Structures are given as structure tokens and as C-alpha cells.
Structure 1
Amino acid sequence: MKRFKKLVVGMLIGFVAFGVFDLSQPTPKAAAYSGCKSSELPNVTLGATDLDICVSESGSNVNVSMKIFNNSTTSYPYYEWTMYLQRYTNGAWSNVGSRTGYISGDSSSNRTFTNVADKNTKMRVKAVFSYEGGGSVGTRYSNTWTR
């Protein structure tokens, strides 16, 4: 009986030593990302317009909110946009998904990318803006985070 107990104890020690049983605490998952980045968009009539691109994670979803501000109380700029959720892989940014819409001083834009894989890689949102009916305004990016 003593031999059996020693054998069982020896086997358990061996399993732990060789990593068959991991008795350490699991590595906690990083907190969900949430952050905003501010920049400017040109406007031929009103001058520069301030832009905020905010990103947050909720489970497998990535939520994006864009809002513009200007100093004019009588006129609101209007931009059409295409946003791309991008992942950094193999040394380059690749598109994971895209959304389209418009934004103006009295109408912010909110979009959700659903079922986004968690691959522990860098992510960002790329937003390409144009004037209503055409004419490039420029490209802006969110902050980069790891998902």
C-alpha cells in the first residue's frame, strides 16, 4: 500500500513538473478596449472641423462612434464616409469589415462590427471621408489597440 501511495504521489509530481496539470492561476484577459482619438477634417466653407473617432469593445463586438464639432451654430458640415475595421497581420493592415454612412454636426455616426475574432493582434479603424456627392476630404484613423 505504501508503494502505491508513493507511486501516485510521484506520478502527480511528474505530471505537474511536465505541464500535464497546470496548477497556476489562469492569465486574466485584458480589459476591453475603449478610447477616442481627435483630429480635424477640412471644410471649404467653415474651415477645419473637429472629429472624434471613439472605439469600444463589448464581447465579440467592436463599436465605433464618430462625431464632428464646429464653431458655427448656423451651418453644419456634412461628410459621407466609409469605415474599415483593420487587423495588423504579416506586417500589413488588412480589412476585416466595412461600414458606410454620413456624419454632420447635428448627426453623429454609430456602427458595430459583430463577431470580431480575438486574435491578440493590433486593430484600428480607418475612416475615409468625402464631401456630399464626391470630392475627397481625407482619411483618419482611430487609436490602435490589441484584440
Structure 2
Amino acid sequence: MKRVNHLMTLVLAGVMAFGLVFIGSGQSAKAVSKTTSFTFHATVESKSYIHTSENYKNVYTTVEMGRTGTWESAAYCKLYLQRYTNGSWKTIDTASGNASYGRKLNVTFTNIAKKSASTRVKLKLYNNWDHSDYMQTVYSSKWTR
């Protein structure tokens, strides 16, 4: 009888391990991580980046400003997390902050529902000193969330 109980315990442990490894915990999601480069038009042009990633409940965005020679770029950033619904892009969350060369802006959009819809981040860049002096708009790569 002990041998049967031991065997049943091992079988049950194997089934549970199989379920965790191959089925998952239900809270994980297919990781999406994208980087989009853009040319920031300021005193000099610099190659800059928008990085996006997500997990099962949050969307993460990082704005990384570039450098050209000794010119280090900086901007005040307004970010708009957008979802494509009913034929147009709808803003579902916003954030803002400063980004400069060597000092990335990291933003977390929390508790973002999954709707199996195309998603992107719209980034509006403003003068770092005068936040009303609009400079340009760029978009991240799109992904399905």
C-alpha cells in the first residue's frame, strides 16, 4: 500500500509540474518588447528611441534621447497610450516627464486591459525649458494587446 501511495504522489507531482511548465500560471502573457528609433529634430538632429514592453497588466515605455557630437538632446515628453478601436486611435492613458541624453524617461501605464487590439504609444516632444513649445510627434511600433 505504501508503494501505491508513493507512486500516486509521484504521478500527481509530475502532472502538477507538467501543468506549470507547459500551461503556465495563467498570469503570464506572451512578452512583447519593441524598440522604435526616430530622429529628434532640435538644434542638431540626434537618433533617439522609444522602447515599449508589457506584462499581463502593465505597459512600460522608455524614452531615450540621443547625442550628436557634443550636443546632448533633451525634451519634455507627453506620452499617450493608444488603442485602435472602431476605425481610429483612442487614448486610454497618458503620462509626461523629461528625458535627456543619459537620463531616460521611464513610464508605467498600469492595469491596462487586454482587448486583442492594435496598441501604440504616441510621443509628443516639447522644448525642455518651455513645455508649450511643441517640437514634433513620433509613434512607437504597434503591437496587439
Hey, what does 2:136 align to over in structure 1?
A: 138
Identity between Structure 1 and Structure 2 (%): 32
When normalised by structure 2's length, the TM-score is 0.76
Partner of 1:64: 61
Say yes or no: does 1:50 pair with 2:47. Answer: yes
What RMSD, in angstroms, separates the aligned Cα atoms of the two structures?
Answer: 1.8
CA contact (8 A) 2:45 2:68 kept: no
Stretch deviating more after TM superposition (91-100 or 64-73): 64-73
| CA-to-aligned-CA distance 1:100-138 (integer Å, 9 cap, x gap) | 101111211100001000010000000000112132110
The answer to which structure has the higher helix fraction is: 2
1:36-115 paired onto structure 2 within 5 Å: 36-44=35-43, 47-73=44-70, 75-115=71-111
Distance 1:93 1:99 in 2: 17
CA distance in 2, matches of 1:140, 1:38: 9
Give the Cα separation in 2 of the matches to 1:136 and 1:48.
16
Runs of 4+ in structure 1 displaced over 2 angstroms? none
Normalization by structure 1: what TM-score?
A: 0.75
Give the total of aligned pairs. Answer: 118
**Pair member with larger Rg:** 1
The code of the aligned residue for 2:95 comes to: R
Gaps of 5+ in 2: 1-22
